[in-house]
Amino acid sequence: MGSPCNISGSASQFFFQNKHCAEYRALSIIAETLAHPQRTLLSTLMQHAVDREIALHFFLAEVSGQGKVAVSEFSADWIYLLEKVRPVVCTDLKELLMRNIWQRDGGRCCISKVENGKHYDGSFLIAYVFPPFSFL
């Protein structure tokens, strides 16, 4: 999956200057361990927390030396929290973007994996991911 520098919109341009910072280390672990949508959800949590440094250091402390299983468990816990919150439906997306999202995710919810059929018919709902700063 590569370093966070290679994932569009997932990393700061400052990473080239300091590869030892907590943000680079955390997002690198996330990028190397998780696929979409878990990678995006966890990266968003790290980058948009009210106190990014605390969130980054907490994540690093939780997964340090424990491998991919710990990162997956951390991600699963975050998704569990997201599923407990009432979603906000996106109503302002263009039809082409909705079709592309449906195709990207194979016609199923990227979190719950519930399928919405085999062919795009425009009847599925896209919800905003609950902002992580509400928890931190």
Per-residue confidence band for 100, with pLDDT thresholds at 50, 70 and 90: confident
Q: How far apart are CA 27 and CA 33, in angstroms?
A: 10
Q: List beta partners, residue 127.
A: 89
Look at residue 81 in the predicted model and tell me its pLDDT.
79
The model's pLDDT over 49-83, given as tens digits with 9 standing for 90+, comes to: 878 899 899 999 999 888 899 999 999 988 887 77
Neighbours of 110 (CB within 10 A): 17
pTM above 0.85, yes or no: no
**Which residue in 105, 51, 50, 43 sits closest to 74, CA to CA?**
43
Rounded percentage of the chain residues whose pLDDT exceeds 70: 75
Question: Rounded to 10 degrees, what is the CA torsion of 45, 57, 8, 2?
Answer: -130
Is 46 a residue whose pLDDT tops 50?
Answer: yes
How confident is the prediction for the chain on average, in pLDDT? 77
What backbone torsions phi and psi does residue 88 show, to the nearest 5 degrees? Answer: -110, 120
